Amino acid sequence: MNLSTSNFKMLRIAIVLISLFLVAEASFRYYYFGAAAIYKFWEYSPRGITSSKFITADKNPKIGYQLSPNKQGLFKAAQLSVNALGFRGNESTIIKPEHTYRIASLGPSIAMGAGIADEHTYAQLLENRLNKTFSFTIEIQNHAVGGYKALQIEESFWQTVDKFKPDLVLLPVYPRIFNNSPPFHELRDQSKFCLEIRCHLQNYFSLNALSYLARDFTRSLQKNSLFGNKRHWGSVSTTTQTKNNKTLKNGAILKRFITNLKAAGYKVVILRLPTLASYTHPQREKTNMFWSLWLNEVKPTLVIDTYYEIAPKISINDSIYLGDNHPNSRVHSLYADAISPSLTSFIRKDFLDDKKYPPLSVLEYKLEERHSFTNDITTD
């Protein structure tokens, strides 16, 4: 066998492998997103928000980045629209219109609705449900940004959201709030063309899914102590930060944030929303313990705990696609359904206590109360 024949066989093998990979990628895209994801290949990508066109750098180093105003397009295969004021959703104004009850929804990617079309995020669904209930206008501004940690949520509120003077602040809480604050996501310059092949491989959903499956498999091996007690796959940045006892945890930062919100006269509603991550019984018990202790410390205006209502109804199959654990539109609808009754009751009482709003209609008084897992906590 001469050298040229050997090289030709290697080339044929390479072509076959590449062809199989492209077929697998096309099949993945067609299954989850339809034919458009194949012939509009570069418009569909599993990349995170910090590697997208939807963000711009922020001068405040504690924030790092923010949503870029007047941007529309696909993010994680779903339509995402950023209005002229720099947050997701319909156009709005800084000054609140008359007879309008304004709610600011904060949080990271789940609250923003990563991989969910504009009209299917729980913030938008919740606004629709509330506006069918009341005769006055309910406006929910979705100020959540993908990848935001507790410090970024806090800083961005005082820098940006505060000027909108919302009547109510919605703050979702997830289990990871009780972990150490991880480092901010690195912002990538989208104006420069990346020559490294890994940059372009990040646009392939099938590779993203394989990476997720491999990560999940190694974590399962670790749980069963098959690799010993060492964390062979732990990131250096996370390990380093865990050792730094001076780093404030997310829970402590949010406690400070809520205290300052209340001091500024804001009403704060904490939402406990279950995610798709599965937890063992001991982990759930530990999380519930931290949750109860944390609530006793922060004392928000209202707590809407949807965990026990929603958690049994969702699973990892409710992810937007294999390899990405953001909840799909069905879960967002469950969130909105679970939040709506308690929030409706609270807004009704808040309006009755505030004489500047118009009286409630007869229909509103006859609204049927639905059972929800809610814990009311009054402030001073």
Dump pLDDT digits (tens) for 255-291.
999 999 999 999 999 999 999 876 666 677 878 888 8
Position 174 scores a pLDDT of: 83
Q: Is residue 232 part of a domain?
A: no
- CA–CA gap between residue 242 and residue 350 (Å, rounded): 42
Percent of the chain at pLDDT exceeding 90: 58
Question: Looking at 136-140, 148-152, 201-205, which range is the least confident one?
Answer: 201-205
CA atoms within 13 A on the CB side of 26: 9
Between these two residues, 71 and 353, which has the higher pLDDT value? 71
CATH number at residue 123: 3.40.50.1110
- Structural domain boundaries, residue 118: 96-182+241-376
Averaged over 29-56, what is the pLDDT?
92
Q: Is residue 31 part of a domain?
A: no
Averaged over 111-117, what is the pLDDT?
96
Q: Is residue 39 part of a domain?
A: no
- CA–CA gap between residue 8 and residue 158 (Å, rounded): 63
The answer to whether the CB of 95 falls within 8 A of the CB of 74 is no
DSSP per position, 43-59: G-----GGGSTTEEE-S
Q: Is residue 37 part of a domain?
A: no
Give yes or no for residue 198 having a pLDDT over 90.
Answer: no
Q: Are strands 168-173 and 267-272 parallel, antiparallel or unpaired?
A: parallel
Give yes or no for residue 206 having a pLDDT over 80.
Answer: yes
Q: Is residue 25 part of a domain?
A: no
Q: Is residue 267 part of a domain?
A: yes
pLDDT tens digits for range 14-33: 888 889 999 999 999 999 99
- CA–CA gap between residue 265 and residue 166 (Å, rounded): 10
Between these two residues, 234 and 357, which has the higher pLDDT value? 357
The answer to whether the CB of 336 falls within 8 A of the CB of 122 is yes
Strands (E), 186-266: none
Question: Looking at 62-71, 156-165, 181-190, 316-325, which range is the least confident one?
Answer: 181-190
Q: How many domains does the chain have?
A: 1
Q: Is residue 20 part of a domain?
A: no
- CA–CA gap between residue 190 and residue 213 (Å, rounded): 28
- CA–CA gap between residue 256 and residue 145 (Å, rounded): 20
Q: Is residue 327 part of a domain?
A: yes
